[in-house]
Amino acid sequence: MGDSVITVPNTFIATTEAISQVGAMPEFVDIDEQTYNMAPTKLREYLEQCETFSPNGRPISRRTGRPITTIVPVHLYGQTAEMDPILEIAETHKLIVVEDACQAHGAEYFSERERRWMKAGSMGKASAFSFYPGKNLGACGEAGAVTTNDEALALKIKMLRDHGQATKYHHCMEGYNGRLDAIQAGILRTKLKYLADWNENRCDAAERYRELFISLSDTIIVPHEPPWAHPVYHLYVVCSKNRDQLRKQLAEAGVETGIHYPIPLHFQDAYRHLGYQCGDLPVSERVAAEVLSLPMFPHLKAEQQRHVASQLIKSCSLVMA
C-alpha cells in the first residue's frame, strides 16, 4: 500500500497531483491564521493523535490507514512556511519534508537551528519549483525544476525525467518525458540574472501597498511578515469579509484581481473520495472566502498602486456604508 502525505488545502492542485501520481494519498492539516501557511502546531497535534505505527516507526494515518511518510509544506504567495518546527516535527516522527517552492523563487527563511537565512528550496529533502510563465521566474512555456542536496536522489530524478535512462536506451526504471527543453532553459538562464532585482521590486511594491492601506486596517488585512521571513511577493494577498463585493467594484473601476484559491482542495470534486466535511479545516475554509490578490508584478508603478489604493478605499467605504 502507498504512503500518506500531509500537505495543506489552500494551494494549487499540482501540489496534491504530485502526491497522487506516485501512488500516495494526500491528507491535509490546517493553516496558520496569520501566514496562511502550514500551522506547525496543527501538524504536531495531527501526528500526535496517531496511535499505531508502521514497522519502521512511522505513524499510521487514522484517516487513510496508510503510513505517513512525507510532509509537503507550501511556500504560499512567496513566503516560506515556518520550517524549523516543521523539520523538527518531521524528525521526531521519521518523516521526509518536500518543499513546494513553486511560488517562492528566492524567498528566505531565518532558521534558528542553522543560525542563518536559508533559501526556499534548500531546507527539505527535495523541493519543487515551477517556471510557469506567471511565476517570479517564468519560462515562455512549461518548465520546472527539482532541487536536492542528496546526490543519489538527484541522479534518480535526472533519470526519471528522461524515461528512466542515464545512457541512451539503457532504462534503469520507467520514467517520464519530463525534460526541460533547451529553449526554455536558455530563456530561464537569462531571466535568472534579473530574479533578485525583480523580487526586490515586488518587495518595494508590497511596502508601498502596506503604507497606502494603513487607513483600511478595519476593512482589510494586509500580508503578515514574521521576523523570520524574507518573502518575494509572488502574490500580494489581502483578506476581507467583503471580498466579493470589493472584487466586483474593483473590476468595475478597471482593477483586475485574483483569488488564490477560491475552493480549498478538500472541497474539490476530484477529492470527494477523501471524505472531508465542511468545518474540518476551518481556517483554510474561511480564508478561501476572504482572500483577494491585488495587482503585483516587478514593473508595477507607484502611480498604478495609488490608483489601486484609491479605488480600494472607495470600494471599502461603499461596502461599509
Ligand X SMILES: *Cc1c(COP(=O)(O)O)cnc(C)c1O
Question: Considering the rule CB under 6 A, would residue 14 count as an interface residue with ligand X?
Answer: yes
- Based on CB atoms, which residue is closest to ligand X, 12 or 297? 12
Question: Considering the rule CB under 6 A, would residue 101 count as an interface residue with ligand X?
Answer: no
Question: Considering the rule CB under 6 A, would residue 316 count as an interface residue with ligand X?
Answer: no
Site string for ligand X, 141-170 (x = CB under 6 A): ---x--------------------------
Give dist(CA 225, CA 36) in Å, integer: 11
Q: Which stretch binds ligand X (CB under 6 A): 47-55, 96-104, 109-117, 267-275?
A: 96-104
The beta-carbon contacts of 217-226 under 8 Å, at least 24 apart in sequence, are 219/316, 219/319, 219/320, 220/246, 220/292, 220/312, 220/316, 223/77, 223/79, 224/34, 224/35, 225/79, 226/34, 226/35, 226/82
Closest CA to 71 of 95, 49, 35, 93: 95
| Least gap, CB of 138 to ligand X (angstroms) | 10
Give dist(CA 73, CA 98) in Å, integer: 7
| Least gap, CB of 92 to ligand X (angstroms) | 26
Give the type of residue at 119. K
| Least gap, CB of 299 to ligand X (angstroms) | 21
| Least gap, CB of 233 to ligand X (angstroms) | 14
* Sequential DSSP letters for 144-210: EEEEES-HHHHHHHHHHHBTTEEETTEESS---B-PPPHHHHHHHHHHHTTHHHHHHHHHHHHHHHH
**CB distance 11 to 74 below 8 Å:** yes
Give the 3-state secondary structure of residue 257: coil
Identify residues 61-90 at the interface with ligand X (CB under 6 A).
Answer: 74
Q: Which stretch binds ligand X (CB under 6 A): 12-20, 56-64, 202-210, 284-292?
A: 12-20
Question: Considering the rule CB under 6 A, would residue 100 count as an interface residue with ligand X?
Answer: yes
Give dist(CA 7, CA 28) in Å, integer: 5
Residue with the shortest CB distance to ligand X: 130
| Least gap, CB of 293 to ligand X (angstroms) | 12
Question: Considering the rule CB under 6 A, would residue 99 count as an interface residue with ligand X?
Answer: no
| Least gap, CB of 98 to ligand X (angstroms) | 12
The single residue among 43, 97, 102, 287 that binds ligand X, judged by CB under 6 A, is 102
| Least gap, CB of 261 to ligand X (angstroms) | 9
**CB distance 281 to 271 below 8 Å:** no
Say how many residues touch ligand X, by CB under 6 A. Answer: 11
Site string for ligand X, 122-141 (x = CB under 6 A): --------x-x---------
| Least gap, CB of 142 to ligand X (angstroms) | 7
Give the type of residue at 300. L
Give dist(CA 206, CA 222) in Å, integer: 9
Q: Which residues bind ligand X (CB under 6 A)?
A: 11-12, 14-15, 74, 100, 102-103, 130, 132, 144
